[in-house]
Chain A
Amino acid sequence: MPKREHLLKIGVSGIRGVVGEFLTPALACSFAQAFGTYVRGGRVVLGRDTRKSGEMLTHAVASGLLAAGCEVVEVGILPTPTIQIYVAATHAQGGIAITASHNPPEYNALKLFNAQGLFFNNYERAELLDLYHQSDFRQATNEEMRRVVTDYASAPKLHVDRILKHVNLERIRVRRFRVALDAVNGAGAMITPGFLRDVLGCELQAIAVDPRKPFPREAEPRPEVLGEIAELVRHCHREIGFAQDPDGDRLAVIDENGNVLDNDDVLALAVDVALGRLPGDVVVNLTTSAVVDDVARAHKRRVYRTPVGEANVVEMMQATNAAIGGEGSNGGIIFPAVHLCRDSYTGMAFLLDRMAETGETISSLAARLPKYHRRFGKVAYEHGRLGPLMQSLETRFPAAELDRSDGLKLLLPQGWIHVRASNTEPLLRVAAEAKSAQEADHLLKEVLRLFGA
């Protein structure tokens, strides 16, 4: 069990918590009513991932939206990017996805989207939170009450059609790629098998594609928990394996040898595909590898860096009209020509398209990327320690170029170090990158030593 203060979080990132005693239906209902008030009634799209609590929360959220005078369009269990695209394509006033993304199954949360199907920006979130705290809600009368309509069918097609505009479908289909999938019994289970098999013409071997069953592994597709699909890839001679998180925005990739690719390398491959097709720059967060800089440089494009968090990346992408962006370590690829959101489906299509185009294996495509070594660490966070720790880092590396936009990032001749407080857990996250494994080890060890960990 996490510490008590992390069982429920109501803040600028919305509402998230352990369902039951903490994240109650009344809280979800009130928050939804605040949202319905913020979007001034109108049509709101409502979907969810496969968490057991999703159905209960769907009813609570629908109640709050209706009470604010909204019409509710229920799209059922769908990946978050699919819901976002549906919001934008159907000109709704907003959308809510009930998902705690990569968090464990006892958690759930509301992801909030504006009329463009984008995550609320920081200003929108702050205003919504004020409305919530003021309990200053629109209260529809019986006459103003709208209804709940369902549309389970049309969202996946909208999503797929957008992706297909940006890949060469014929050359993917003729290859009849042998593909493995682990959808963690999440929202991806609803559409990913059809996407890979029927749309992209793959020969599919899938596990964890039953949306009624619990998550068979940890929800976040980290390399350590992807043993089963890696084994499947090896055993069934797959050319590539894909693993999703419960709401289908994050993607992990397994090569034909059963090795989980580094997420930064996956992002770099996607960046290479996107920049080959479209003009525009690249936006990534501070913790993303320099491999992205190398790829962008080869296309003569610029890389913008933002604090960690999808909303930050998205905001900068809007501001710079970027061609592609993402958050390397999180397995997130954001390709705005499809939609300005993290989308595992675009990632899958891009990689298969590149394999079809080059005839190369995924492992050899990854091997062509400049090699960097990354190390990650966690240190228990205590309030008040962060400042002194950062100062000690500065003292230890006096020649470093500093970026203080999210914790502290030190750019060094041999690589970089990034230290920041986690948004969701009581942890300091430490990342270090260098050209050699030895140097990367050394940088991480140095930080942990300074932090007394």
Chain B
Amino acid sequence: MAQQTAKLLRISQVGLRGIVGTGMTAAHVLDFASAFGTFLEPGKGVIVGRDPRSSGIMIREGVVAALMACGRNVIDLGIAPTPVIQHTIRRMDAAGGISIGASHNAAEWNALKFFGRNATYLSTAEANELLDIYHLKKFSFVEWDRLGELRGEDGALDSYLDELASVFDFDALKRFRVVVDCCNGTSSLILRRMNERFGFGFTLINEKMQGVAFAHEPATNKDMVALQLAPLMKPLNADAGFLFDADSDRVAFATEDGTAVSEEMVLPMLADYLLPRRLGKLVITNVSSTALVDEVASRHGGQVVRVAVGRQATIDALSSYRPEQIALAGEGTGAIMMPQFRFVYDGIASMLALLSMMRERGEKLSAIVNSYPKYSILKGQVPLVTQRIPALFTLLRSHYRDGRANVLDGLRVDWPDRWFHVRVSQTEPLVRIICEQRGDPPRDLFDALMERVRSFA
């Protein structure tokens, strides 16, 4: 279903993303990377890395050529997790970086993610400028004798791990028995090195990096955790199980009793862990993530700032506060940024924070998960012709007048113990419907909404 309706190519503020061959071509890559080489402040180098998709080599070659033509020295990390690429940008004081990889999408997809000199994603203003340069196709190519050069860099992974080790107590954490589903992505690079260098005992499954055939969809959600990881917890007598997407910026997990936990739990749990430890009291998330985070935040005197769905809105929100005001930022998808790591989505750091929480509380992971009040979430989607979208929101708003409405991104309506959010997918011609209730699933509300949207469409 998603396959048939998915758009093949998306060029937007988020960058360039598409199905290689049918949507995204070498020509797109060359032009977009040339635009980025033109956009960056002059002089400094650019860090490049990729996830293991087979198309990554073709894209890397194009990116390297374009950056060199713009006079940029390129440091290629080869196959590297996105958080490592971002770490290296800062460490080497580079002008920026490009991560080649489609993260949680299926293997036939690929994408370019762009980072500025502070190693975070581009702000909307910057992304718009990049898009303008891309569309104008006026690139700053240098003369033949000023072309950039290409080199590799060996120490990137170890330097990244040094930073993690300075924040987390590796000696304590390595005592946990942890199973990881790498989903044939880049996380195995980091975890194997942690075993080797620090004596961690991560047991890895799907650890071989694959260009074409991932063991399963590399999405970090409950269903994917339930596939292979959760059933291994008891037989392997593990304390925790984690699943990473292909470029290691997202995480989902299973508890020691073999339960696949909802991906929505990562954010509130990390908020619970970080809020008491930090001066900052703000949790930045989008309007679709669980209300449990509000409940957890209020316990610690924190406050949740909700923005539109999508990476871009979160990035922009970050820049409108002082860093010390923020405790963490993230999505219900398991993509979390922490201020200790200068606001980089980092699945590995998120895993280490959850393990630290287990150690400090001296509790089993299932006990921590079960200590939170139960929230139940229902998700659905309905295909819709784009022209009819505004009328749908007007209709729904008039139906649910008794709740508090938020129109930041589609329509969210809140009641004291439940809420729903209806929005248009950014990647597919679909309306997404999500309902959550403290306690049991809000079946009545969800069914009514689905029915209303279906009959409207």
Contact = CB atoms under 8 A, between A and B. Distances in A.
Interface stretch (B51-59, B289-297, B325-333, B435-443): B51-59
Interface in A11-68: 18-21, 24-26, 28-30, 33, 51-53, 55-60, 62-64, 66-67
Give the interface centre of A33, A59, A141 by most chain B CB atoms within 10 Å.
A59
24 contacts: A18-B144, A20-B69, A25-B30, A25-B66, A29-B30, A30-B26, A52-B147, A55-B147, A56-B68, A56-B69, A57-B65, A59-B64, A63-B26, A64-B26, A67-B21, A67-B26, A139-B21, A140-B55, A142-B21, A142-B54, A142-B107, A145-B20, A145-B58, A148-B61
A147 interface: yes
Contact of A56 (B25, B65, B109, B110): B65
A71 B407 CA distance: 51
Given A25-B65, A59-B62, A142 B141 contact: no
A52 B145 CA distance: 6
Nearest to B61: A63
A230 B407 CA distance: 82
Given A29-B30, A60-B62, A139-B22, 13 more contacts: A18-B144, A19-B144, A26-B34, A55-B147, A56-B68, A59-B64, A60-B30, A60-B66, A63-B29, A67-B26, A106-B143, A145-B54, A147-B54
B65 A63 contact: yes
A144 interface: yes
Nearest to B71: A20
A28 B30 CA distance: 10
A26 B68 CA distance: 12
A204 B108 CA distance: 55
Give the interface centre of A63, A139, A147 by most chain B CB atoms within 10 Å.
A63
Given A20-B144, A60-B65, A145 B30 contact: no
Given A24-B139, A57-B65, A142 B144 contact: no
A141 B212 CA distance: 10
Contacts of B385: none
A24 B21 contact: no
A108 interface: yes
Nearest to A144: B21
Contacts of A106: 143-145
Contacts of B414: none
A33 B107 CA distance: 22
A55 B21 CA distance: 25
B26 A51 contact: no
Contacts of A141: 19-22, 55, 108
Nearest to A51: B144
Interface in B41-97: 53-55, 57-59, 61-62, 64-66, 68-69
B31 interface: yes
Contacts of B143: 19-20, 106
A5 interface: no
A63 B212 CA distance: 18
Interface of B: 19-22, 25-27, 29-31, 34, 53-55, 57-59, 61-62, 64-66, 68-69, 107-110, 139, 141-145, 147-150, 211-212
A29 B68 contact: no
Contacts of B19: 141
A106 B21 CA distance: 33
Contacts, number: 136
Contact of B30 (A51, A63, A140, A144): A63
Contact of B25 (A18, A67, A105, A214): A67
Nearest to A56: B68
Nearest to B26: A67
B102 to A, nearest CB: 9
A28 B65 contact: yes
Contacts of A60: 30, 61-62, 65-66, 69
A216 B107 CA distance: 49
A60 B59 CA distance: 10
A59 B68 contact: yes
Contacts of A144: 21
A106 B147 CA distance: 11
A143 interface: yes
Contacts of B58: 62-63, 66-67, 140, 145
B267 to A, nearest CB: 31
Nearest to A145: B54
Contacts of B148: 56
A55 B150 contact: yes
A142 B65 contact: no
Contacts of A24: 34, 69, 139, 141
A52 B142 CA distance: 12
Contacts of A67: 21, 25-26, 58, 62
A60 B107 CA distance: 23
A20 B141 contact: yes
B34 A25 contact: yes
A140 B29 CA distance: 14
A55 B211 contact: no
A26 B211 contact: no
B137 to A, nearest CB: 9
Interface string A98-142: 000000011010000000000000000000000000000101111
A59 B21 CA distance: 19
A60 B58 CA distance: 9
Give the interface centre of A26, A55, A139, A147 by most chain B CB atoms within 10 Å.
A26
B59 A63 contact: yes
Nearest to A108: B144
Interface string A251-269: 0000000000000000000
B27 A56 contact: no
A188 B115 CA distance: 41
Contacts of B211: 142, 145
A66 B59 CA distance: 9
A26 to B, nearest CB: 4
The 4 A-B pairs at the shortest CB distance, nearest first, are namely: A60-B65, A63-B62, A66-B58, A63-B61
A137 B58 CA distance: 15
A137 B64 CA distance: 22
Give the interface centre of A28, A62, A147 by most chain B CB atoms within 10 Å.
A62
A19 B141 CA distance: 9
Contact of B57 (A18, A139, A145): A145
Given A26-B27, A33-B26, A145-B55, A105 B65 contact: no
A25 B65 CA distance: 6
Nearest to B20: A142
A118 B56 CA distance: 31
B108 A56 contact: no
B108 A143 contact: yes
Nearest to A70: B58
Given A141-B108, A142-B21, A143-B212, A59 B61 contact: yes
Give the interface centre of A30, A57, A66, A144 by most chain B CB atoms within 10 Å.
A66
Contacts of B59: 63
A24 to B, nearest CB: 6
A25 B69 CA distance: 7
B25 to A, nearest CB: 6
Contacts of A19: 69, 143-144, 147
